[in-house]
Amino acid sequence: MKLRVDRDALADAVAWTAKSLPVRPSVPVLAGALLTVEDGRLTISGFDYEVSSQVTLDVSADSSGSALVSGKLLAEIVKALPAKPVDLAAEGSHVELTCGSARFTLPTMPVEDYPALPDMPSSAGTVDAAAFAAAVAQTAVAAGRDDTLPTMTGVQLEFNGSGLALMATDRYRMAIRDLDWRPENGDINVTTLIPAKALSDTAKALGSRGGEVTIALPDSESGGVGMVGFAADGRRTTSRVLDGQLPPLRSLIPSSFSSELRVNTAEIGAVARRVSLVAERNSQLRLSFDDDGLVVEAGGAEDAKASEGLDCQYTGEATKVAFNPQYLLDGLSAVSAPVAVFSFAGSGKPVTLTGDKMSEDDEGDYSGYRHLLQPLRYDG
């Protein structure tokens, strides 16, 4: 194997693959990036038995072949190289990397011990890359972190002929995002649960490249959806799916509300961050509001305290509510709209957080996203 490749293209490709490599692999070869040259194209692959990634780029190759080297080390080296063409050559049990006057020698691992990457499932449709990345970010924030409840650590994707829905919950908050997509089969009706971290990393990386993302799903008639795939711009990744499904989350959304709070998203976010500086772990951020405005408080009689007021629009009776500070900040960040709208269905019931325009001149579309927060018992 011998080739020459543009440094920036190689750095981008290696970084894409290295992101999915395990920090503590079960076997040493899983920490490797597999470099394969064939027909003037370099393919860089990574796989840890759960997530696979692969990127292909054009190179000037003198000979074909494969080599397996440490993916993280290769990524760090290529990132630090000067802006000159990179020459790679496999020589026995080493790979020689040359860029200008810089020269590195990397030991290789046995290619024959590297597991075969899973095949890409059949294409099910396409979705705008940037919109998909934004939707995943909005929902993944509500996914659980407790591995003893694996179902809660995923983002559920529901595909049908009219749209794509993403949803996640950790039992204390919930996020749902409806999204347009272009299915290849209008009769599709598939639900799959994907680990939130794997989906987030993939969507963020593909979304930054623009264009469209192809979503691949196995034929549900051939045994269910055991693996999903995403591809865009010469890159492809597959991920295992989690067993089970989330509860019917849409049924938890209240059908009517008794009061509504509208407030500038950036302003309440800034106030919440300042006030929560005095909030100790597992304490609460308290909101009280009426026709005169909104007051955000934290802390208690024996501890440091903070409070700050800000303008708002409120319809309903004077109300007090308390939230986990970080959950509230996460929800405000996920709304991604100029105005945050809190809708209340009654004392102790989940609060629905959505986004809206600041004025009629705003051409943004903030519909399709709902974030539910379970309030805490108010300790004012």
Q: Give the model confidence (pLDDT) of 6-51 as tens digits.
A: 999 999 999 989 988 888 888 999 999 999 999 999 999 999 889 9
Same domain, 136 and 194: yes
Same domain, 195 and 94: no
Same domain, 244 and 258: no
Burial 1-34, CB ≥16 within 10 A → b, else e: bbbebbbeebbbbbbbbbbbbbeeeeeebbbbbb
- The residues with which 187 forms a beta bridge, in sequence order, are none
Same domain, 259 and 320: yes
Residue at 118 is within a domain: no
Same domain, 241 and 128: yes
Q: Which of 168, 149, 147, 165 is nearest to 157 (CA)?
A: 165
- Residues 258-279 have a mean pLDDT of 94
Residues 6+ apart with CB under 8 A from 222: none
Same domain, 147 and 213: yes
- Is the pLDDT confidence value at 216 over 60? yes
Place of tokens 């990744």: 237
Residue 214 maps to which CATH number? Answer: 3.10.150.10
* pLDDT one-digit tens code per residue, 367-376: 899 999 999 9
Residues 6+ apart with CB under 8 A from 1: 35, 37, 61, 63, 64, 65, 66, 67, 88, 89, 90
- The range of the structural domain enclosing residue 231 comes to 123-250
Domain stop point among 113, 140, 170:
113
Domain stop point among 113, 134, 153:
113
* Alpha-carbon gap, residue 87 to 235, rounded angstroms: 22
Average model confidence (pLDDT) for the chain? 91
What percent of the chain shows pLDDT beyond 90? 74
> Which pLDDT score is estimated for 225?
60
User: What tokens appear for 33 in the block?
Assistant: 């990036």
Same domain, 245 and 313: no
> Which pLDDT score is estimated for 223?
44
Residue at 37 is within a domain: yes
Residue at 380 is within a domain: no
Domain stop point among 195, 217, 250:
250
Same domain, 241 and 152: yes
Amino acid code (one letter) for 117:
L
- Residue 57 near residue 5, CB atoms below 8 Å: yes
Residue at 180 is within a domain: yes
- Residues 236-263 have a mean pLDDT of 92
* Alpha-carbon gap, residue 90 to 88, rounded angstroms: 7
Residue at 239 is within a domain: yes
Residue at 379 is within a domain: no
Amino acid code (one letter) for 148:
T
Same domain, 271 and 162: no
Domain count along the chain? 3
Residue at 244 is within a domain: yes
Same domain, 84 and 104: yes
> Which pLDDT score is estimated for 220?
56
- Residue 222's pLDDT band, with cuts at 50, 70 and 90, is very low
- What's this model's pTM, rounded to 2 decimal places? 0.89
Residue predicted with more confidence, 366 or 280: 366
* Alpha-carbon gap, residue 168 to 70, rounded angstroms: 34
- Residue 59 near residue 41, CB atoms below 8 Å: yes
- Residue 265's pLDDT band, with cuts at 50, 70 and 90, is very high
Same domain, 330 and 221: no
Same domain, 230 and 127: yes
- Is the pLDDT confidence value at 221 over 60? no
Residue at 297 is within a domain: yes
- Is the pLDDT confidence value at 301 over 70? no
* pLDDT one-digit tens code per residue, 68-96: 999 999 999 999 999 999 999 998 899 99
Rg (the chain; Cα; Å): 25
Strand order in the sheet with 259-264: 189-195, 154-160, 163-169, 173-179, 369-373, 351-356, 339-344, 259-264, 313-315
- Residues 170-177 have a mean pLDDT of 96
